[in-house]
Structure 1
């Protein structure tokens, strides 16, 4: 899709969807926050940060504990899309511990300055499948992907299509900031085809295709998705090879 068509579609969806809540309505200062309302490992690390800047929505912090807690002190291979000022790589290093392999990718060449501090940084675009595959190969595989990149719908879609097949069995693919799926400036809009929200809705249908399409109830045809979990602005896709579906009675009827 050309930039001109994208801009036109964004304008049409802006008219169709009305005026979305501006980002400025959500920004807070540290002085406005009651930190006691955000307990947990991730919040402790986040609020205790005195290194490179890290910017996070507060309601994400307990979600991180919930979805990533099992990986603490494990040799996880973790890839974050979006490096920004390098602070999030510091957060993940403290959160996961020294056994983790942590990589970040960003399109901004200035982010190369953070390479080797808390993780490895590689410069390239999240909608470049070959670049992403090279990074994963260098990592020796990937267990968890966290998309905190441009938040543009087409970029989120390109990254998911390139990286989800590379995630290890039992691993996670996490997309952050899905509220941009409703903001036209990010190729969003309520019900707009192709947004991060809509492609994951499509995956929900794909998870159940063996109930509405005969002949596909096989491990080869059932998508390698064990679950799709939605939080406010975050979705977690758990990858696992699936067995054919079947129901049985025990003990066997006489």
Structure 2
């Protein structure tokens, strides 16, 4: 199984053991805002940690950890341009599979500017992006996010994450893929299963988004277990728990 979106830097060593024992052997750790991201140096140190230290911690437990790098909308420092200038170099690392997670939190002018610049880098380099959708004002901000995506990048390069019943119809026609984040306060296992039953299995990947927020490192295997108990075709289970993510990230 692949957990398509986590934040490994906020999790203890033991979580990776639990994931591996439950069958999650691959994950993608994204850049985010684990602290006050006041300067580009802090942001870059954070990125280097998820590219290096966390990769080693996961590997010791049998989890292959890939990285996504970029400027999260809650991690925009005053000198963020320094981070963007270094992105092409960071993306050359064989362990980095995407720019992310990026997007909008409140839809401010600066957030939109940083988001668009990163989308254009991804388009120019033909690299995948992981795009965040927020908890608050989700429908309104997602509409703005989707419009910016459509105007600036081939949607086949996009994984739009934290999709739920309130935004699914707006983004279902994207050529990219959609993340179902099974996490306390976001989406339950039953809600994820219902979403897939209604909209199919070709467009979705599963992730835990485990972080410093309430999280469950076993949410992907628990969802797979529920799909099996529900009698879902094993081929479809493999799509959402492995193949769709593997094909998207090319891992």
- TM (norm. structure 1) is 0.38
- TM (norm. structure 2) is 0.38
Give the structure, 1 or 2, with the largest relative contact order (CA under 8 Å, sep 6 or more): 2
Higher normalized helix content (fraction of residues): 2
